[in-house]
Amino acid sequence: MTAGPDGSDSGAMVKPVRYAGSDATVQLGDRVLYRSALVWWRWKEGRISYVPGVSKPHPEMEHGGLQWVGVSGVDGTFRGVLVEPDSGRVRRSVRFRSRTDGSGFLTPDEIPDGEW
């Protein structure tokens, strides 16, 4: 067993989330490109702002046996991207670009309730 990010016992080993088609792990602050459903599926720049098993658990991002990775767009939007339960990978709609120091992005707790 492993302790969760809030120090509680999660009750299970947490597998790292990985990018589709890669062995790179998803880390807080990663710069990514992601597909936006709102603007004709174009690619947008963003940063990873929530990672299951790393971030403080949030009920909108982990429920019903499913988990989502949070992406904060550079335009101020937020999107949750499903982690495929069988593979532990985010969908191909998120592409890794580069690593950062992990600062300078909104976390789910900082996003207003009306934006979910």
Q: Which helix (H) or strand (E) holds 85?
A: none
State the Cα–Cα distance between residues 34 and 70, nearest whole angstrom: 11
State the Cα–Cα distance between residues 80 and 59, nearest whole angstrom: 12
Counting residues of the chain whose pLDDT is more than 70, the rounded percentage is 71
**Which tens digit of pLDDT belongs to each residue from 27-55?**
999 999 998 766 567 888 999 999 999 99
DSSP secondary structure code for residue 20 in this structure: T
- pLDDT beyond 50 at 101: yes
pLDDT at 3: 41
In this prediction, residues 3-10 reach a mean pLDDT of 44
Split at pLDDT 50, 70, 90, the class of 113 is: low
